[in-house]
Amino acid sequence: MSFDLIPVEVKTGAVPNASPGDWTDNEAYRQLYVSIIQLAIKDYEFLRRISGQPTLSPSERKKLRGLTEDSDPVEFFNSRWFEDICGMIGVHPQAIRERLEVKEGMQLLPSLVL
């Protein structure tokens, strides 16, 4: 279930802590934020795919360990950081959550030992 991020309203000059006299490449920031969300979507889709599997391959286990090392990827889509990034690139966070079917308190991590 891949999809492109289509901005609903692009906010110019929305880079945090940028003073008017500083040169800031807003497009570079925007591309970075879009990449972060796209990677999170890809990781989330991987978790959805493996969540129903009774066993995982060694490569799936390795990827799962890497994804969950710091936190549950579902937490990202329910975080203030995700909402801030969406605001900076001009997309609605709730639209992404609905499309991915992310719900608050949702757990996708398999009950397998990581």
Tens of pLDDT, residues 58-108: 888 777 777 777 677 778 888 999 999 999 899 999 999 888 887 665 555
Q: What mean pLDDT is reported for the chain?
A: 74
**H-only helix segments in 1-108:** 26-50, 58-67, 73-77, 80-89, 93-100
Q: Is-contact 93 44, C-beta < 8 A?
A: no
Query: What's the pTM?
Result: 0.66
pLDDT band at 23; cut points 50, 70, 90: low
All structural domains of the chain with their residue ranges: 26-100
Residue 81 C-alpha from the chain's centroid:
10
pLDDT at residue 42, as a whole number: 87
Q: What is the mean pLDDT of residues 33-43?
A: 90
Distances (CA, A) of 40 to 13, 17, 37, 86, 108: 24, 25, 5, 12, 14
CA–CA separation, 44 vs 64, rounded Å? 11
